[in-house]
Structure 1
Amino acid sequence: MDFLSNFLMDFVKQLQSPTLSFLLGGMVLAALGSQLQIPESICKIIIFMLLAKIGLTGGMAIRNSNLTEMVLPVAFSILLGILIVFIARYTLAKLPKVKTVDAIATGGLFGAVSGSTMAAALALLDEQKVAYEAWAGALYPFMDIPALVTAIVIANIYLNKKKLAATAESSLEESLSKQSVAAGEYSDPQNYPSTRQQYLRLKQRPENARVKIWPIVQESLQGPALSAMLLGIALGLFARPESVYENFYNPLFRGLLSILMLVMGMEAWSRIGELRKVAQWYVVYSVVAPIVHGLMAFGLGMIAHYTTGFSMGGVVVLAVIAASSSDISGPPTLRAGIPSANPSAYIGSSTAIGTPIAIGVCIPLFFGLAQAIGGI
């Protein structure tokens, strides 16, 4: 009962917080047909500053921390990023009217991380004066990159197998229709190529070559979100950015986050219309998946808490980034890596429903769980 009351109180606080209230405000403005526009160039600057700040925080913390403490949370982050994609592949992809390649892309986006959602969670923990490892934000790329790489690889393997099967079937039909002619080219009919032999020949064709991993990783690293994050981590590690951090990045963090939430709210509403064009199961997935993914991460975080002393605040951060879905770096990476997937499905699922659920439900849920356990 205490957990439920704490959850409801935290949920109301989240509704009143700048993070979620600006997100909902953006959705209301878009629903009312407001012509308010924030230039894309300004949004890019805001995203850079938010992620650079998180990266700087993580880099400075890593510089002053024991790296062995990070091993288990990092390993769990990688595992979660990969596992979330496979869950979508074998759950969402099996539902009616859901295309497999769209389901895989959706899993990749939900396995990747939302920098804005993570920033909202960190802001809440700071407001509540809850201690957490300053390097917790640096777990972002360890979950984000494996998820995107896994999704693109699995999707391309699936598409190649599908193409191979279709080509083999077409070739078999053609060979059967011309069998009387083709058989005359062989002195012994037993030497005529079998279906298995034709399949193996098709499989050896260049278009069925294995998907290359490094270009996908490189594209993810070169994306605007991870570039800003990794730059901040590097500067925090190898430079002394404390003065500019305290006087510029840290004071502006919450104000810039509120503007980004307003933009995301307007974007979320516009994507709802696109989501209606695809299977309704995406709506169900977008509501359930963030909670399930976050609970998985919370459980793994508790293992790290009891074995390595990972803080409860850090457990909340791990759960929230697992519950989040990428809204910055993920979409362009998946557009390039899985061009045949429908953006209305995976971007609509993430932006229109996944992000509001992650911010409005999952952050207070996992914060309340940590309070119920008694660690904060």
Structure 2
Amino acid sequence: MDIALTILGTLAEQFQKPTLAFLIAGMMLAALGSKFEVPEPVYKFIVILLLLKVGMGAGIAIRDANFLELFVPAIGAAAIGIGVVLLGSRTLVKAKGVTEVDALATVGLFGAVSASTLAAGMAMLDDSGIAYEGFIGALYPFMDIAALVTAIVMAKVAAARRASTHVAMGGGTLAVSGGKGGAKGALEEGLLKGILVDTFRSPAISALVAGLAIGLLSEPQSVYKSFYEPLFRGLLSILMLIMGMEAWARFSELRKVAHAYILYGVMAPIVHGLIGFGVGMIAHELTGFSAGGVVLLAVMAASSSDISGPPTMRGALPDANPSAYVGTSTGIGTPVAILSIPLFIALAQAFIG
């Protein structure tokens, strides 16, 4: 009973924090038909600054981090990304009215990470006075790339299998012809390399990796503390406002696809977040991973990529329907993931203290 009351109290407290308030305000503006708009270049600029800040902070922290303390969460993050895609291949991919390529593109985004959701989680932990490892931002690429690569490769293998099997009925005989290399044709030379290159070239991953390298290989503390840290909360509030409006606008796109996407978009962030929380607890027991670190690993698992993932999927899987994977991710997954952050904070406070 005490744990339930603790969780409910934490949930009520967190919903009063600025991060969630701006997200909900954005959704209300869109619902009321407001003409409020933030120019796309400004939005991209905000995202780049946030990612540079997260990456730089992670790089600075890694220099002083114990290898084992970083290694275990990093392996866990990659395992979560792959696990989410494999789970989705057994759930959403099998749903009625859902095409395989659309479903795999969707679960790929849900296995990847939303930079804005991660930033929101960090801000909410800071507001609550909960400490977390500075290298958390460095876990982002492990989960992000693992999920995107797994989903894209699975989709290409499935497409190759369909293309390589042609059944012809004639003269009472059944002929089955295989394409070049059969299913292996999907894994043409350089496929994985191409996917990795495209992923690292995406604006989000590029900014994050650049910030990570700067923090790791140089001494950017002065500009980090004087410029990036003071701007972080203000920029994040604007980003939450934009995302709230975009989330509401995306709801209409989901009318064009199967209702299974709606159910998946609502349920997946919670399920994935709990999986991430469980992996974080394992890291906590093995290495002393902090309560805040456990929360942020759960937040990354619950999030769905809204920046790096969509352009990666659009380039790698051009046959996939953006209304399905972007609508589900941005329209439902992202707001549900952000709204679920208080749940993971409450669980950490109840089970770790």
TM-score class normalised by the smaller sequence:
over 0.9
Quote the offset at 1:207 in angstroms. 10
What residue number does 1:344 align with?
A: 323
% identical equivalent positions: 53
Q: How far apart, CA to CA, are the structure 1 residues paired with 2:10 and 2:103?
A: 32
Work out whether residues 11 and 360 of structure 1, in 8 Å CA contact, stay in contact via their aligned partners in 2.
no
Comparing 8-17 with 77-86, greater Cα deviation is found at 8-17
Q: How far apart, CA to CA, are the structure 1 residues paired with 2:64 and 2:156?
A: 41
What residue number does 1:230 align with?
A: 209
Give the alignment partner of residue 303 of structure 1, picking from 250, 274, 282: 282
What residue number does 1:31 align with?
A: 31
Write out aligned runs for 1:24-103 (5 A).
24-103=24-103
Q: How far apart, CA to CA, are the structure 1 residues paired with 2:185 and 2:126?
A: 50
Deviations 1:334-375 (A, max 9, x none): 1111111111111111111111111112x11111111111x2
What residue number does 2:344 align with?
A: 366
1:303 partner letter: I
Q: How far apart, CA to CA, are the structure 1 residues paired with 2:105 and 2:181?
A: 27
Q: How far apart, CA to CA, are the structure 2 residues paired with 1:136 and 1:205?
A: 41
1:366 partner letter: F
Going from structure 1 to structure 2, the CA distance change for 1:36 and 1:210 (only over 3 Å counts) comes to: same
What residue number does 1:317 align with?
A: 296
Q: How far apart, CA to CA, are the structure 1 residues paired with 2:332 and 2:292?
A: 25
What residue number does 2:332 align with?
A: 353
Q: SS at the partner of 2:230?
A: helix
Work out whether residues 14 and 360 of structure 1, in 8 Å CA contact, stay in contact via their aligned partners in 2.
no
Q: SS at the partner of 1:354?
A: helix
What residue number does 1:119 align with?
A: 119
1:217 partner letter: L
Q: How far apart, CA to CA, are the structure 2 residues paired with 1:207 and 1:40?
A: 41
1:324 partner letter: S
Quote the offset at 1:4 in angstroms. 2.7
Going from structure 1 to structure 2, the CA distance change for 1:275 and 1:55 (only over 3 Å counts) comes to: same
What residue number does 1:210 align with?
A: 187
Q: How far apart, CA to CA, are the structure 1 residues paired with 2:262 and 2:37?
A: 27
Q: How far apart, CA to CA, are the structure 1 residues paired with 2:108 and 2:184?
A: 24
What residue number does 1:185 align with?
A: none
Quote the offset at 1:206 in angstroms. 11
Write out aligned runs for 1:52-201 (5 A).
52-165=52-165, 168-169=166-167, 172-173=168-169, 176=170, 195=175, 199-200=177-178
Going from structure 1 to structure 2, the CA distance change for 1:256 and 1:161 (only over 3 Å counts) comes to: same
Give the alignment partner of residue 250 of structure 2, picking from 271, 293, 297: 271
Residues matched between the structures, number: 351
Work out whether residues 117 and 320 of structure 1, in 8 Å CA contact, stay in contact via their aligned partners in 2.
yes
Deviations 1:258-295 (A, max 9, x none): 10011111111111000121111111111111111111
Work out whether residues 19 and 124 of structure 2, in 8 Å CA contact, stay in contact via their aligned partners in 1.
no
Quote the offset at 1:81 in angstroms. 0.5
Q: How far apart, CA to CA, are the structure 2 residues paired with 1:326 and 1:111?
A: 8
Q: How far apart, CA to CA, are the structure 1 residues paired with 2:222 and 2:17?
A: 28
Gaps of 5+ in 1: 180-193
4+ residue runs over 4 A deviation: none
Q: How far apart, CA to CA, are the structure 1 residues paired with 2:76 and 2:24?
A: 32
Work out whether residues 113 and 321 of structure 1, in 8 Å CA contact, stay in contact via their aligned partners in 2.
yes
Deviations 1:293-351 (A, max 9, x none): 11111111111111111111111111110000001110110111111111111111111
What residue number does 2:238 align with?
A: 259
Quote the offset at 1:205 in angstroms. 7.5
Going from structure 1 to structure 2, the CA distance change for 1:355 and 1:3 (only over 3 Å counts) comes to: farther
Quote the offset at 1:178 in angstroms. 10
Q: SS at the partner of 1:276?
A: helix
What residue number does 1:184 align with?
A: none
What residue number does 1:191 align with?
A: none
1:250 partner letter: E
Please report the TM-score for the alignment, with normalisation by the length of structure 1: 0.90
Quote the offset at 1:208 in angstroms. 3.1
Q: How far apart, CA to CA, are the structure 2 residues paired with 1:266 and 1:149?
A: 30
Bigger Rg, which one:
1
Q: SS at the partner of 1:301?
A: helix
Quote the offset at 1:136 in angstroms. 1.1
